[in-house]
Amino acid sequence: MNLPNKLTILRILLIPIFIVLLMNGYYYSSGILFILASATDALDGHIARKHNLITNFGKIMDPLADKLLVTSAMICLVELGEVAGWMVIVILAREFIITGLRTVAAGEGIIIAAGKSGKIKTILQMVALSIILLRDWPFSLFTDLPIGYYLLWIAVIATIYSGIEYIVQNKQIFKI
């Protein structure tokens, strides 16, 4: 197994530890672990592309690992009263719709690659959740504004935009 795939597996294995820390009130520790796990996403992709280590396993598991990490954080934060449930529903709805679209396309031999807006959406979600988990640090040193929550709003808007963009760019799939 190559290094990018090992990093993807590591990201998945860190999720239960992250959940235990967060649900036991260790926001900063869980936030740091979330940031480290999120960083493996950029790192594994960079290594895979640079060294031509792209595998079918990575194509499937890397985005799944991202979704599991982000979804776990959001659901826990909803339970803790830190994030509005409707935001999570919007984000999850987009993920289900695009996954379904990709599944139908794959059945027809069409590959829908991750687009730039999808990557931006994921980064915004990870940054917003990181800041929420860190209780708005370092911004909390300068303001009482909930910066992480505002960034999550931007991430939700980017999520909606990304979903619409995928559907519009791949509308031919609906005619199959």
Question: What does the pLDDT look like over 87-121, one tens digit per residue?
Answer: 999 999 999 999 888 888 888 888 777 789 988 99
- Computed over every residue of the chain, the mean pLDDT equals 92
Residue 90: closest CA among 174, 168, 152, 166: 152
63-76 burial string, b = 16+ CB within 10 Å, else e?
bebbbebbbbbbeb
Residue 71: predicted pLDDT: 95
Q: Where are the domains of the chain?
A: 3-175
pLDDT-based confidence at 176, cuts 50/70/90? low
Token pair listed for 130: 């990181």
Token pair listed for 125: 């979600």
Residue 146: predicted pLDDT: 95
**What CATH number matches the domain at 3-175, 2.40.160.10, 1.20.120.1760, 1.10.1040.10, 1.10.10.10?**
1.20.120.1760
- 54-86 tens-digit pLDDT: 888 888 888 889 999 999 999 999 999 999 999
- 116-135 tens-digit pLDDT: 998 899 999 999 999 999 99
Residue 113: predicted pLDDT: 75
- Judge if pTM exceeds 0.85: yes
Query: 31-34 long-range contacts, Cβ below 8 Å, gap at least 24?
Result: 31/130, 31/133, 31/134, 31/135, 32/134, 34/69, 34/73, 34/126, 34/129, 34/130, 34/133
Residue 95: predicted pLDDT: 92
Residue 88: closest CA among 72, 100, 66, 64: 72
